[in-house]
Structure 1
């Protein structure tokens, strides 16, 4: 595990890229502000808030293990969000 700054940057970049992909999908399908897209964006923002809160929690006993778990949770949540986005793309095809 690198450092806290890198983890925060990863969280921001990964979830930001997912939100950007939703906007691109909306523009390419001609469905701006779609209900489905908004749900994915809301999940991404909620995930961001939760993960940043966990990263900033300094009361944990084993900080290194805690940050590894946060990183794993980021991967899991991002994968789920990408799957939701892919389902939108398939349903529009």
Structure 2
């Protein structure tokens, strides 16, 4: 299991890249729905805030509980990022 500092850096990096992609689409790709892009930006910021808070909250005292907590956190984060990718693909429709 990676330490919390690296996990926070990864969350910040991924959400930063998603924000950059969304802003690029909004500004430079013709036909992009600006309202959907703004909604997606809000969703990305919410994901970042939620998962950084969850990293700071420890899953328990026992190592098995902590490991399970962070495994679930990573799975949930991956699922949230997949949802953002789906939203990005629908911006130009």
TM-score clears 0.5: yes
CA distance in 2, matches of 1:38, 1:44: 10
Higher relative contact order (CA 8 A, sep 6+): 1
Is 2:85 the partner of 1:87?
no
What is the count of residue pairs matched by the alignment? 90
Which TM-score applies when normalising by structure 2? 0.85
Distance, in Å, in 1 between the alignment partners of 2:15 and 2:86 is: 13
Residue from 47, 69, 72 that aligns with 1:69: 72
Structure 2 unaligned blocks of 5 or more: none
CA RMSD of aligned residues (A): 2.0
The change in CA–CA distance for 1:33 and 1:5 in structure 2 (over 3 A counts) is farther
Instruction: Provide the rounded CA distance (Å) in 1 between the counterparts of 2:31 and 2:24.
Output: 10
- Identify the range of structure 1 (65-74 vs 24-33) with the bigger mean alpha-carbon deviation: 24-33
Are residues 1:35 and 2:38 paired?
no
Q: Deviations over 1:47-79 (max 9, x none)?
A: 111111111112534112111111111110001
In the TM superposition, what are the counterparts of 1:1-40 in structure 2 within 5 Å?
A: 1-30=1-30, 34-40=34-40
| TM-score of the aligned structures, taking structure 1 as reference length | 0.85
Q: 5+ residue gaps in structure 1?
A: none
CA contact (8 A) 2:4 2:55 kept: yes
Q: Secondary structure at the match of 1:88?
A: coil
